[in-house]
């Protein structure tokens, strides 16, 4: 992967930051994209302090006009993109009867439409070069019903099928498109769901019957690095004959 160029959305923290760091350590120049300028700057500063090649690009994926110009700027500054990681995401929880129109719209704007906009902008540049790899973060909830997560699960299901459809269209150009579907991962998003203490973490691992949620057979939450390793594999030449695939990284929580 040495000398390649990647664009990683949602790079300010959590899984996105872990992916950006792992790619940098493998010699990839990373365009770190996020709408949280302060956290993004902090993440990139840590990477560059270690002598790694990363640059921050403040982009709001909800702003349709920003995406194409951001991709052009990335290629002007870092070179032609070899990899795209769609990792930006938002989570709005609640029973369907309690979800607002704004909750639904905001979730799909980032988790589904944002994936579409960024993928379209990047793949249009990859096609003439006849190379590239795209990996989208989904969720194990995309294929398994979850209470209070209808908007999130539906948006991730949309992103999953979109990425596979895109992969089918661009396979003839040598471009691979895959999906990583994490389960419960130790990130700020999980804390935002109220999982910020040992008791809450234990309940996730043990399962919550009243929510019809199985536990985690491996008896631990994923670390961001666990998920990042799956992304790196699918982007790398080790996965050169893998496309249209969804790799679940959830410790067995959805029972295979």
Any idea where the domains of the chain sit in the sequence? 5-183+223-248, 188-221
Residue 108, both tokens: 């799909």
Give residue for tokens 């396979």: 171
Q: Tell me which residue of 47, 118, 111 sits closest to 84, measured CA to CA.
A: 118
- Whether residue 204 is predicted with pLDDT greater than 90 in this model: the reply is no
Beta strands in the chain (DSSP E): 5-9, 29-34, 54-58, 83-86, 132-137, 175-182, 246-249
Q: Tell me which residue of 228, 220, 221, 146 sits closest to 180, measured CA to CA.
A: 228
Q: What is the mean pLDDT of residues 10-39?
A: 97
Separation CA 245–CA 173 (nearest Å): 17
Q: According to the model, what pLDDT value does residue 208 have? A: 85
Q: According to the model, what pLDDT value does residue 211 have? A: 84
- Whether residue 59 is predicted with pLDDT greater than 90 in this model: the reply is yes
Q: Which residues contact 167 (CB under 8 A, 6 or more apart)?
A: 134, 175, 176, 177, 178, 243, 244
Residue 10 DSSP symbol: S
Most confident among 2-11, 56-65, 184-193 (mean pLDDT): 2-11
Q: According to the model, what pLDDT value does residue 188 have? A: 76
Q: According to the model, what pLDDT value does residue 196 have? A: 60
Q: Which fold would CATH assign to domain 5-183+223-248? A: Rossmann fold (3.40.50)
pLDDT tens figures, 184-202: 898 877 655 555 657 677 7
Residue 232 or 209, more confident: 232
pLDDT tens figures, 68-121: 999 999 999 999 999 999 999 999 999 999 999 999 999 999 999 999 999 999
Residue 65 pLDDT class (50, 70, 90 cuts): confident
Give the chain's length: 256
Give residue for tokens 């160029």: 5
The residues annotated as belonging to the active site are 152
pTM of the model: 0.94
Three-state DSSP state, 87? coil
């Amino acid at each position: 992967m040495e000398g390649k160029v990647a664009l990683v959305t949602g790079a300010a923290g959590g899984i996105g930051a872990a992916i950006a760091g792992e790619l940098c350590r493998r010699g990839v120049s990373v365009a770190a994209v996020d709408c949280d300028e302060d956290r993004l700057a902090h993440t990139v500063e840590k990477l560059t302090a270690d002598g790694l090649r990363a640059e921050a690009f403040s982009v709001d994926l909800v702003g349709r006009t920003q995406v194409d110009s951001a991709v052009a700027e990335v290629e002007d500054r870092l070179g032609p993109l070899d990899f795209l990681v769609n990792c930006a995401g938002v989570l709005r929880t609640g029973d369907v009867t309690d979800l607002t129109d704004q909750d639904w719209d905001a979730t799909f704007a980032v988790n589904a439409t944002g994936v579409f906009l960024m993928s379209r902008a990047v793949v249009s540049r990859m096609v003439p070069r006849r190379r590239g790899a795209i990996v989208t973060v989904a969720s194990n909830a995309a294929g398994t019903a979850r209470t209070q997560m209808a908007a999130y699960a539906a948006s991730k299901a949309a992103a999953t099928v979109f990425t596979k459809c895109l992969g089918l269209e661009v396979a003839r150009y040598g471009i691979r498109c895959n999906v990583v579907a994490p389960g419960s991962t130790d990130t700020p998003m999980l804390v935002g769901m109220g999982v910020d203490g040992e008791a809450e973490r234990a309940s996730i691992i043990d399962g919550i019957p009243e929510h019809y949620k199985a536990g985690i057979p491996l008896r631990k939450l994923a670390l961001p690095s666990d998920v990042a390793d799956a992304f790196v594999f699918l982007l790398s030449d080790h996965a050169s004959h893998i496309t249209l695939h969804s790799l679940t990284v959830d410790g067995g929580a959805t029972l295979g």
